[in-house]
Structure 1
Amino acid sequence: MPGPIVREGDRLVLRTVERDDAAFVQRGSTDPRIRFPFGAMYPGSRAEQEAGMEGWLETDGVAAYLACVDDPDAPAGRPDDEAADATTPVGMVSARGLDGDRPWLAYWLLPEHQGEGYGTEMVRLAVDDVFASHPVHGISAGVYDYNEASRGLLESLGFRQESRRRQSRYVDGAYRDELQYGLLRREWEGD
């Protein structure tokens, strides 16, 4: 069950990821339409997902959010029993390395919700929260060169391509180039 609301957008809210969300999070690591563009190489069982979540959810240097289509009239931070009826998770976004200078952003969206603008809103809300809540200088993100939708999303939000790692990873039957993008706080804040 997604946790309390962290950020609200026009059509989405970001909620904390809770241990009970393991089944939803597991979908991103098993569905080839998500895991290959995301770079998750090996699908895992629900037990493996739960064990992994315990490690990274309870780390100070990580912020993880579920992007949910939510009832706009319901109050923020409402109890889980009410949230269950009013919330539909559509994706996930996380920032790791918040205790450093440039955390790493990762995100995915369920295939049935791609192409609707949810990904851009989800990442925008997460970037807003990271810069509002953590004293970081910038944010980094990576994408495979063939993932044009994700490249376009990052570029539309002001991320700039900073490097290319040629044939950096074997993904879905071929070696793929990884592009690294970056966004500085001053660029996001318009200074």
Structure 2
Amino acid sequence: MPGPRVTQGERVTLRTFETEDVPFHQRGCTNPGIRYPIGSPVRNQEEIDVGDENDGSDDFVVCLDGEAAGPGDPEKDQIQRIGMVHANDVDWRRPELAYWIAPEVHGEGYGTEAVALLVDHVFRTYAHPAVGAGAYDFNDASRGLLESLGFSEEGRIRRDRFIDGEYVDRMEYGLLREEWEDRE
């Protein structure tokens, strides 16, 4: 089960990623509705890194908390896992955000809220002047999510990854700290 609450929005909660969350993470990254849009390679349970404090990333499980779920370790029936958010390279360069939300809750706005909570977390926790994120050219939902949060397109990496039988372009996005702080 996910661990303690790190931050909470109106509807979603970010909780620490624990060893017990590896099967959820693995199921998400092998689901074609998630794996193809994020370009994730298939990995087994042992290949998914958890709990390495020196890996330079902050990893969180996106949850819908029930009324009984407190800030500590919740009981299994008190939360529903719906996705993951990550801030990679937080300890040495501009953090790169990554995220996925379960297909059964796509279009509900949970992804936007979760990524906004992650951006808040990164800017509160680290002194970086900006964060980055990427989305494949064909992934209109992910690109729209980033743009709705104020990210600006910074470039294109042509034929970056082989996904579902073809090479696809990756769009690079960035968000400056002052842009985030000055938003309405």
Counterpart of 2:161 in structure 1 is: 169
Separation in 2, partners of 1:60, 1:40: 18
CA contact (8 A) 2:69 2:79 kept: no
Structure 2 equivalent of residue 12 of structure 1: 12
Aligned pair partner of 1:157 in 133, 146, 149:
149
CA contact (8 A) 2:67 2:78 kept: no
* 1:96-135 pair list within 5 angstroms: 96-135=88-127
- Whether the 8 Å CA contact 1:100–1:136 is kept in 2: the answer is no
CA apart distance, 1:113: 0.9
Length, aligned pairs only: 183
Q: Do 1:101 and 1:137's aligned partners in 2 also have CA atoms closer than 8 Å?
A: no
Question: Structure 1 stretches (4+) deviating beyond 4 angstroms?
Answer: none
1:108 is paired with a residue whose SS is strand
**Structure with greater proportional helix content:** 1
Preserved contact between residue 12 and residue 67 of structure 1 (Cα < 8 Å): yes
Please name the residue that 2:35 is paired with.
35
Residue equivalent to 1:136: 128
**2:159–2:167 contact (8 Å) kept in structure 1:** yes
Question: In the aligned structure 2, how far is the partner of 1:3 from the partner of 1:150?
Answer: 27
Q: How far apart in 1 are the matches of 2:78 and 2:92?
A: 36
Contact 2:17 2:60 in 1 (8 A): yes
- Counterpart in the other structure of 1:46: 45
User: TM-score normalized by structure 2?
Assistant: 0.94
**Kept in 2: contact 1:101–1:138 (CA 8 A):** no
Aligned-residue offset at 1:20: 1.0
Q: Give 1:61 shift.
A: 2.1
In structure 1, the gaps of 5 or more residues are none
Question: Within 2, Cα distance between the matches of 1:74 and 1:168?
Answer: 41
State the Cα distance separating 1:73 from its structure 2 match.
5.2
Q: Cα deviations across residues 110-140 of structure 1 (Å, max 9, x unaligned)?
A: 1101111000001001111111111111100
Structure 1 pair 128/72, CA: closer, same or farther in 2 (3 Å)? farther
Distance in 2 (alpha carbons) for counterparts of 1:33 and 1:10: 26
Look up the SS of the partner of 1:53 in the other structure.
coil
Shift of residue 53, structure 1, vs aligned partner: 2.6
1:15-47 residue CA offsets vs partner (Å, 9 max, x unmatched): 010011110010122111111111113x12223
Does residue 91 of the first structure (1) align with residue 83 of the second (2)? yes
Q: Which residue of 2 aligns with 1:180?
A: 172
Counterpart of 2:61? 66
1:129 is paired with a residue whose SS is: helix
